[in-house]
Each structure stands twice: as structure tokens, then as C-alpha cells.
Structure 1
Amino acid sequence: MDSMTNRSFYMPRGLIARMTSAQTHTRLKPDGYDNLSELVRAVAEKEVVRLEEKYNGGRPFPKVERLPSGPSRAGALRGAELRALNRQAQAQAEGQTGEKGPQKRRKGA
């Protein structure tokens, strides 16, 4: 077995709550897990094996030395949505007061 390491990942709060509940309520069952780490390892192992079988002939993928920089697709979409909501809120606030907020200078202007 590989040595253990601690990693941090972002996950939806609802999924974490469901995982915790599922693990806790089934821990004494024959196929239950003693803790969340065991549950996450088992699920991750199954999915990694599936991806290796589907996309790499059942072999492990080459090691990744460095992760790509920048946001994930989901992060980029979240950022775009937040910026749109902020613009909408600013436009509504300007419409109520009749005043414009600080303007950003555009490059080349």
C-alpha cells in the first residue's frame, strides 16, 4: 500500500453531509467504511480504474509532475457568473440612485 498523504479538495457542502451520513449510518454493515477517508479512497479508486480502463488500456496514466495553472472549467464559469451578478447588482443600484459607481479605465483608452 502507498504511504498516506493529506490533500485538500473543494466539494459541495451537501455532498459532504451526504457522505458523512452514509458512512456513519452504514459503518457497521459488511460493506460499510470505518471512516470518511476509507469511503473517499474506495470511490476514488473505482473511478480511477474506470478512467484508466476506458481511456488508457487499463494502465495507469503517466505521472503528472505539475498541475496546469488557472481555474478549472467549473471555476471559470463560477467566476463569470459572479461577475455577471455583480454587474447586474451594480446596474440596479445605479438605477435606484441615478448615480454611477467608479468607472474602470479600459486599456488603450
Structure 2
Amino acid sequence: MRWAANEYGTIISRIDIVRSVEGGEPYQTLPFVRPGGDILLRISGWPKVQRVLAAIDAIEAIGIDPPDVAPEHWRHLNHRIGVNEPFRIYSHEQHHAWLLRREVSR
């Protein structure tokens, strides 16, 4: 999460959720992330950033560590919050399906 302020308050706020990549995988570059990563979510503007933070709090409240969440959920949040639409809440069932899918793809 990055933000900047001046004497009048916050002028920019941004949150990025990025997956680290294996050697040879394509990646996007981001400030302060070397060499870069797979951008799953990139939201700017304080009201939208607050919605992302609330979604992260909800994930933690059900006992799931946010880095373990399915990448598709972060992309879903990125698209829905980006256009001010409601989003699906991450569930234990969705998480279990992601863990099984990840295991099969290894």
C-alpha cells in the first residue's frame, strides 16, 4: 500500500496485491518491487482502497491468511471494486477448491 499527502491531507492512495513469480515466468514491473510480479489487484483512490482493506479484514476474520487466497479472487476484487460494483465474499468453500486446484496443478 502506498500513499502520499500534502498539507491538505492524502492526495493519492494505492494498494497493489502482487504474486511473486518463478524464474522464467512473465511479470509486470512495479515501483519498489524488484524485479516485478504478477499483478493480481491494483486499486487507487481512498474509498476503493478502503473496500479492499475491508475485504482483507473479512478474509482474516474467517481464519484464512490473505497471501493464501486464490489469485482469481484478487482479480475478481480488482475488477468489481474498480467499477464500483459489489463483489463476492471469499468463503471457506472457495478456498478449499483453490487449495485442491493448486495441488492438482503441481
TM class, shorter-length: under 0.3
Between structures 1 and 2, the one with greater strand share? 2
What TM-score, normalized by structure 1, do the two folds share? 0.25
- Greater relative CO, 1 or 2 (CA 8 Å, sep 6+): 2
Between structures 1 and 2, the one with greater helix share? 1
Max Rg structure: 1
